[in-house]
Structure 1
């Protein structure tokens, strides 16, 4: 596979309200502090859409807006890939519960937000984008699947692309069957050509190697708590300004990412 370039990074997770905070921890300069992620008010959403936006959409926006701070590109010019294992199971739970009660009254707002690509729709409205957009799900491999899709969109079609991976814990009884331990989102801006502010060049390929882990026990625990934070080994290389090979979990063969600083 041809290479693409990482231009910007965004993150929202416990202890990481922004890439600025995460970079210091992942580079080993500051100890990780597992504090809850505060609620986010998306700056790019118009007031009406902001009122209707779900916690999942707000979470995706937090990482996406964080990444956009690192680039001068108009967000409307970027193609998008949104990757989420479960989107918003809280809405599915509320709708399913409503259907068991007489009369069966489903919230119109919940119905509006129940589609898996809701975050992509809100983003397109917020930034006025008509660029290509994909939304996908691959369970715990969702970040790897999203990264592969974003790389292909960038390489083949020549679209600079915003990738956003996000998930949040579902309510019980779903949580027992789908144990996501915390809300988290990660965003990357990928370009098909090297730019003056490019951070790294990456090339992806299938591999049978085991997935990469983190040496810090607290960060490794965070990596395993959410499909989006499976990206942490990649972000650790970026934060430490270290070239290397990162293996991300995937459903069949894992995804090897060769990262070279530029």
Structure 2
């Protein structure tokens, strides 16, 4: 079984990367990259009570999810989804640990339900009124690749479009010392089955994924490479760079310690070239 799909649209947010159109210009070399703190928009689609309870991890996931779905023109209520992150809400986890280490250990229900790993998927179902299948997974630094494989399996097996949302946010000290994620980064892809007759995709790119032991693809720009290495969700950047430049290529994404994911990209009839 081939794991392939058409990438119809992208959502992105990160340090100095406010959305996919701006990020695409930077990744394609049309604009300089200036690293700035990630500015997370409030999740306007949520009711006010839920909106007040959200932290950075939920705001990151919802921002890129909404951008990708809006760009695809698909109905979010019927779109299957995969949410992938290496951890949960680091700031909320820090607050819970502080509370449990003190004398007053009365944990609020909001703190508790925001601490679970599938909280962003739950908030997405409320914000987007999504009722389709939703899977949530974690694979440490390989979480983006694991999420991509899961989404591609949905597309291949079920023959339906799939929304992939990958995200990670910073941890306060002392957790930051052992998990030094400095800022929020999120990326979302709407993936769809290829046409049955094999005609070129009408979306941004056609991708096919397979496992490999080749080293992960790095970025030439030092600032962007530092970002790629510093946030698990940003491991998607080599793939996004090739899409932004409309460059047929094979890129390798971090996955397991001894195994990575090779992604072959093509654009219509453009031949694929290997890059690393």
Flag whether TM exceeds 0.5 (same fold). Answer: yes
Contact 1:95 1:107 (C-alpha < 8 Å) held by counterparts = no
Query: CA offsets, 1:113-140, max 9 Å, x none?
Result: 1110000000011122221111111111
Counterparts of 2:149 and 2:19 in 1: how far apart (Å)? 24
Residues 213-232 of structure 1: matches in 2 within 5 Å? 213-232=218-237
Contact 2:166 2:186 (C-alpha < 8 Å) held by counterparts = yes
Who is 2:246 aligned against? 241
Counterparts of 2:125 and 2:21 in 1: how far apart (Å)? 26
1:189 equivalenced with 2:195 (yes/no):
no
Contact 1:95 1:106 (C-alpha < 8 Å) held by counterparts = yes
Who is 2:11 aligned against? 10
Residues 1-262 of structure 1: matches in 2 within 5 Å? 1-194=2-195, 197-251=202-256, 252-262=258-268
Question: Residue 62 of structure 1: CA displacement?
Answer: 1.2
Larger mean Cα displacement after TM superposition, 130-139 or 96-105: 96-105
Relative to the length of structure 2, the TM-score reads 0.92
Contact 2:40 2:63 (C-alpha < 8 Å) held by counterparts = no
Question: Residue 196 of structure 1: CA displacement?
Answer: 6.7
Alignment RMSD (CA, Å): 1.3
Relative to the length of structure 1, the TM-score reads 0.96
SS at match of 1:250: strand
Counterparts of 1:89 and 1:37 in 2: how far apart (Å)? 16
Contact 2:6 2:201 (C-alpha < 8 Å) held by counterparts = no
Counterparts of 1:229 and 1:164 in 2: how far apart (Å)? 12
Counterparts of 1:218 and 1:239 in 2: how far apart (Å)? 17
SS at match of 1:87: coil
Contact 1:143 1:230 (C-alpha < 8 Å) held by counterparts = yes
Counterparts of 1:160 and 1:94 in 2: how far apart (Å)? 37
Who is 2:272 aligned against? none
The 1:100/1:233 distance shift into structure 2, 3 A limit, reads same
Counterparts of 1:2 and 1:209 in 2: how far apart (Å)? 18
Q: Which runs of 5+ in 2 are unaligned?
A: 269-276
